[in-house]
Chain A
Amino acid sequence: MLTSVELVEFAAKNGIPIWALDASIALVLALAVFSLCGLGVIVLVYMERKVSADIQLRLGPTHVGPRGTLQLIADMIKLLSKEDVFPKHADRWLFRLAPALVFIAAFTGLMVIPIGPRLVVQDLNVGLLYVLAIPSIAVAGLIMAGFGSYNKYAMMGGLRAAAQMVSYEVPRALSVIGIVMLAGSAKLSTIVDAQGFWYIFLQPIGFMVFLVSTLAEINRVPFDMPEAESELVHGYSTEYSGMRYAFFLFGEYIALIAAAALTVVLFLGGWHGPGPELLGPIWFAIKFFGVVFVIMWVRWTLPRFRIDQVMDLGWKVLLPLALLNILITGIVMSI
């Protein structure tokens, strides 16, 4: 979308093929998105630590940097300098590829999320479908990690992750059908612009189903079955250490960023807010951190479900509710 007319003309004049132009712009944007989400991860990890500390009568990090803000940097340096342990029986390729896959799947998902008017890398026509589908590829990474580690806990964690993400993918995708019906498009920017009235009010059932299944999608409490440390030690990432572990962590937090941003885009009016259009990203950020705070609040308050209860909730409650939501939306719109 940034391919302005002048640039195209310039390229044509100098004999640069259009795909090279596209690729170079994409590279710049990708680096921009990467630094933005890197910053986001730093902020969110800090926020998570401080929120949890506040809930639990603790102080959280205080020593590294002013008020402990640089704690994650220190952690990263530590993880960087750790030995790259490769367990004896682990599968060479699965074990190595898994963290990369988890990280890349989460990262590429950010491509279509608009954070302000025209502030989006690629405003795909099927943006909604893309953002639901691509980050889910991470589940393959989790299974690979579980199977490749040659560890029983990791194995069970990977299987649970697969079952859970697969089960909640369906209600999550179905819960946003109502929005597509209302907006008449699966393009995220169109959906934002169609929200004169926030969809959270027009689609309350859809919002509930979406939020709950999002929590399950990103493996957060009360759905953190894959890494339930009370029985599975640390689930699929039990055998990982150093940078490889860090990439799981990155993937998890980028998934959180994507999930919260998607919630804002779909249900909370995206960048819309009082004031000039220029304030759009700021409104977006405010709503974004609100959603993130709610997700963290839930995480540090609730216990965890059992795996059969997780499945029950997905198939017996959320799926019928999501279908009911489509039905209600359809009937109301037809009348």
Chain B
Amino acid sequence: MISEIIYFSVFVAVGLTVVVLMLGLQKLLQTKRHSDAKLSVYECGNIDVVSDPRIQIKMRYYIFGLLFIIFDVEMIFLFPWAVVFKSLGLVALIEMLVFIMILLLGLLYAWRKGVLKWT
């Protein structure tokens, strides 16, 4: 276990080092010229009419985020079950079916309620 964590951290460290090295190299090689227009945010050529993009916009995606959490937890439950499925057999299948059905009912409920629809 500890060895795996070490491996993972080394990979992250190597990735980070690559990023830092490359960005540092770019710092050395780049030619920097200041201009206000260059630093302004891209707005299809309109420099003067930037309105704040960080406003409270309607988040349709939020619902999908909630649904994701539910089903992701289900997925976590399913993995260990799947690993030992061979030795458990039919009973385990039926038990898991009940579990999945409950979640599916939830999905159907959300579906019928019109959460999955846009407009």
Contacts and interface: CB of A to CB of B under 8 A. Distances in A.
Quick check: do A and B touch in the complex, using CB within 8 A? yes
Interface of A: 3, 19, 22-23, 26-27, 29-31, 33-34, 79-90, 99-100, 103-104, 107-108, 111, 121-122, 124, 126, 128-129, 147, 149-153, 155, 159-160, 162-163, 166-167, 169-170, 173-174, 177-178, 180-181, 184-186, 233, 238-239, 242-244, 246-247, 307-308, 311-312, 315-316, 319-320, 323, 326-327, 330-331, 333-334
Interface string B54-95: 100001110011011001100100110011111001100100
B19 A19 contact: no
Nearest to A160: B61
A159 B9 CA distance: 29
Contact of B93 (A87, A308, A320, A334): A334
Interface of A is mostly: helix
B33 interface: yes
A85 to B, nearest CB: 6
Nearest to A184: B86
Contacts, number: 196
Contacts of A246: 22
Interface of B: 2-4, 6-8, 10-16, 18-19, 22-23, 25-27, 29-33, 38-44, 53-54, 59-61, 64-65, 67-68, 71-72, 75, 78-79, 82-86, 89-90, 93, 96-97, 100, 104, 107, 111, 116-118
Given A26-B6, A239-B41, A81 B30 contact: yes
Given A84-B26, A88-B39, A167-B64, A247 B19 contact: yes
A149 B54 CA distance: 10
A174 B75 contact: yes
14 contacts: A80-B25, A82-B30, A83-B31, A149-B41, A152-B43, A155-B54, A163-B60, A166-B68, A173-B75, A180-B85, A186-B83, A243-B23, A330-B97, A331-B93
B61 to A, nearest CB: 4
Contact of B75 (A19, A79, A86, A170): A170
